[in-house]
């Protein structure tokens, strides 16, 4: 419900009387009232309904550890597991913003992953 004097959100008690929460207005009275909007149109406050509808959301997986990510580099890094030099790499901020980024590396052949700080 809304205050018929100032339009502030007000909650009626079980007997249907509202007390305006705006300390400047101070309206106390029946919730079954009307008020005028800023254009002068009369609004019946007893028929005003406020609802919140929960909607379903579709989620997209942004990061998946099973997928190889990053840019393929050849010769810059060597896989510690299979000694191949074709490695996917990308930068990720894993610590505080004043710390340097962490380079995440994944071997193209054996999919072994490791970090370089």
Is residue 20 within 8 A of residue 8, CB to CB? The reply is yes
Domain positions in the chain are 1-49, 71-116
pLDDT tens digit string along 22-42?
888 888 887 665 666 777 777
Work out the average pLDDT over 5-17.
81
Q: Residue 50 contacts by C-beta under 8 Å, 6 or more apart in sequence?
A: none
Is residue 36 within 8 A of residue 53, CB to CB? The reply is no
Instruction: Note every long-range contact of 3-8, with CB atoms under 8 Å and residues 24 or more positions apart, other chains counting.
Output: 3/27, 3/35, 4/29, 4/33, 4/34, 4/35, 4/45, 5/35, 7/35
Helix and strand totals (H; E) in the chain: 0, 8
State the pLDDT at residue 51: 65
Q: Which fold has domain 71-116?
A: N-terminal domain of TfIIb (2.20.25)
pLDDT tens digit string along 76-102?
888 988 988 999 988 888 888 888 888
pTM over 0.75: no
CB atoms < 10 A from the CB of 107, how many? Answer: 22
CA distances (Å), origin 98, targets 33, 94, 95, 101, 103: 58, 11, 8, 9, 16
Give the span between the Cα atoms of 51 and 32, in whole angstroms: 19
Work out the average pLDDT over 10-22.
82
pLDDT tens digit string along 45-82?
566 666 666 677 676 655 555 565 788 888 888 898 89
State the pLDDT at residue 6: 81
């Amino acid at each position: 419900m809304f205050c018929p004097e100032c339009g502030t959100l007000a909650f009626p008690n079980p007997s249907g009387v509202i007390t305006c929460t705006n300390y400047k207005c101070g309206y106390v009275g029946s919730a079954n009232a009307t008020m005028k909007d800023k254009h002068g149109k009369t609004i019946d406050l007893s028929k005003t309904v406020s609802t919140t509808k929960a909607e379903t959301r579709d989620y997209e997986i942004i990061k998946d550890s099973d997928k190889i990510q990053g840019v393929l580099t050849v010769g810059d890094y060597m896989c510690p597991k299979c000694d191949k030099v074709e490695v996917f790499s990308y930068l990720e901020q894993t610590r505080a913003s004043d710390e340097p980024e962490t380079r995440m590396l994944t071997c193209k052949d054996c999919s072994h992953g490791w970090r370089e700080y």
